[in-house]
A and B are shown apart, each in its own frame.
Chain A
């Protein structure tokens, strides 16, 4: 941390001096400071100086973007090659990765088709350098950059699918280009995209290694020199999470969870080192559980993710450099998580962390109430706001209406069909809460069920228990359950008597007092200081 600050100060000094005396621009229109930056960057990549690369990537790049490239783009590859000298293929590819990412981030309507195409070609080149090399490439990159590469790759694939499905987004020339691309299937087609991600997994032997780590065996015993290379290991690791996201976007939730079956959700996981990766992992695993109706599991993941964002929020906002041209993944996910959590808790109320619970009720308390009362439209809204942008990789629309929303509607519909079969649950809960024992016939009469439909009515009780006990869960990513019951109300049926147990949680006043003791303490200190001064 200290080091980063130091570097920042240095560049500030440097630029101040330049501006005052030697602020010049060379013949390519590239400010000297930027040229210096690029040359230094290329050298650090060559020297594999990861801490320096991290600063150059994470801080200096957005900083220079802000100062020199607000209105125009960064220099293109030929200019960069002139600055850093020839024979530096990998740096150029990495530079272009950043360059296209900027193009994507800058255009609210999305980049031109030609840029989408070129960006894919650049990724293909990057991955083929990595995957077809005889020995592991001698490159070291900071975790965040490796993750960003994978994440951006999946994002651009997603963006392309949505672009293909929406004819309103392109010019006449682009239509011909798109026909050409689709005929040759040579850019952002589902098959090469999956192929690249899966190849990263097998090249790094990541699943074998993670499995070995879990079983406390030496991962090197199951991997070759690629798997043992830090770069390849991490590429494989992050590719798992990129693939998790891809599968969810394609509505393939079982495959999504299977992909990350060896990624342990614990404080030691590499994902912890990259905030957006942590958030992505939790969001997509949680979402898959939601779609598989494991509401308890989903709730846990959503709450943990919200707690994490809440904890780190102050740090995130202190990094002003992040603001420019960078999509605020964490901020967006933060909002979405509340909607999804609201759905889970409306179907299966549970006790959750109090700080999250109070923010949730502030944001969507009313929505949750409507959902709990069986308002399907409210479920529809919450789902549409909280879900990821689903896609259909085979849909290409050349003229006519935008079909990019079709996949969302499909997922929404199958979600709502599931909800409908569980819709009696909140009503049941309402009655059960009022009693400690209640004959089934009496409950049936409360719910206006006649004798002919009595057995169907019992089905509602069975459904309730099936959902609460998470019978649908098949053990993938199962967490060990704590012994405290998470549901506030539970029951069993003894012949024709429903026996109800509720769990009452006393208000946690300790935290409240501790906060106020601390506040008082601070006030006293202020007073003491004032007294001393006076």
Chain B
């Protein structure tokens, strides 16, 4: 079945208290798989399956949990990844596989696109630090490539945070943050987000932030009406 069919059926099946029906686990898992293959997403479905895994530990399937986490990363900057993490019990966290996704999540949550793209392009150099999260950087790339549309989702996420941060941005920087995207791709994304190309296409005008982000002084305003009663009640000194 396609994602759409599964989604429609499931929405009725997980309404109200039925959300907790353990018999839905199979269909929910199939739906998560369909999300991965068809590049679709449904927040209620992914969070519901995590809750069911918590309540029915015998049905736990780590590969589905990993896929769910990857899907939630694809909707950053929404907090779905943070929400999903709260629904995974401590005793599951020992797994290397999950740890890898968590570490990837930490990179993306802190908008460290530079590291993300290095991991994807195989140019990441692990440090010798014992806490180095990506000792085998190829593994991360492998996980990400198995998810349809993951890299595009990250580009989209980057554009959203750039939108609220930059007034003008140089094309070279933009291209770097988008993983070395070529001119055509940069232009397409810019168009999608309504950025204007200027100075022979070397700079993009993103948004006019100086209108809203201004230095202000807020003074206290006391209106006569508000204090009139008080003042009227005061007599002069005795």
Contacts and interface: CB of A to CB of B under 8 A. Distances in A.
Partners in one complex: yes
Interface of A: 190-191, 194-195, 198-199, 201-202, 250-255, 291-294, 392-394, 406-407, 409-411, 413-414, 417-418, 420-422, 424, 436, 453, 455-456, 458-463, 465-466, 469, 471-474, 484-485, 490-496, 499, 501-510, 514, 517-518, 520-521, 524, 527-528, 531
A517 B213 CA distance: 38
B216 A474 contact: no
Nearest to B222: A510
A505 to B, nearest CB: 5
B167 interface: yes
B185 interface: no
Interface of B: 16-17, 19-20, 43, 47, 51, 54-55, 57, 77-80, 82-83, 85-90, 102, 106, 109-115, 158, 160-162, 164-170, 173, 176-177, 203, 209-210, 213-220, 222, 227, 230-231, 233-235, 237-238
A472 B164 CA distance: 13
Given A393-B55, A506-B220, A517-B234, A458 B177 contact: yes
Given A459-B114, A493-B169, A521-B233, 14 more contacts: A254-B47, A293-B79, A394-B55, A414-B82, A420-B106, A421-B109, A455-B114, A471-B160, A491-B213, A493-B165, A504-B216, A506-B219, A510-B227, A520-B234
Given A420-B106, A465-B165, A251 B111 contact: no
Nearest to A454: B114
Given A292-B82, A410-B89, A510-B222, A462 B213 contact: no
B20 A194 contact: yes
16 contacts: A255-B19, A293-B82, A392-B89, A411-B86, A417-B85, A421-B106, A460-B110, A460-B111, A466-B161, A492-B209, A495-B170, A496-B170, A504-B216, A506-B218, A510-B227, A514-B230
Contact of B177 (A251, A455, A474): A455
A199 B230 CA distance: 54
Nearest to B216: A503
Contacts of A251: 86-87
Residue of A191, A456, A460 with most chain B CB atoms under a 10 A cut-off: A456
| B interface majority secondary structure | helix
A96 to B, nearest CB: 26
A436 B210 CA distance: 13
A417 B166 CA distance: 27
A252 B124 CA distance: 36
Interface centre among A255, A409, A413 (most CB of B within 10 A): A255
A126 B131 CA distance: 55
B161 A471 contact: yes
B172 to A, nearest CB: 11
A290 B89 CA distance: 20
Contacts of A502: 215
B83 A292 contact: yes
Most chain A Cβ neighbours within 10 Å, of B110, B169, B219: B110
Contacts of B231: 517
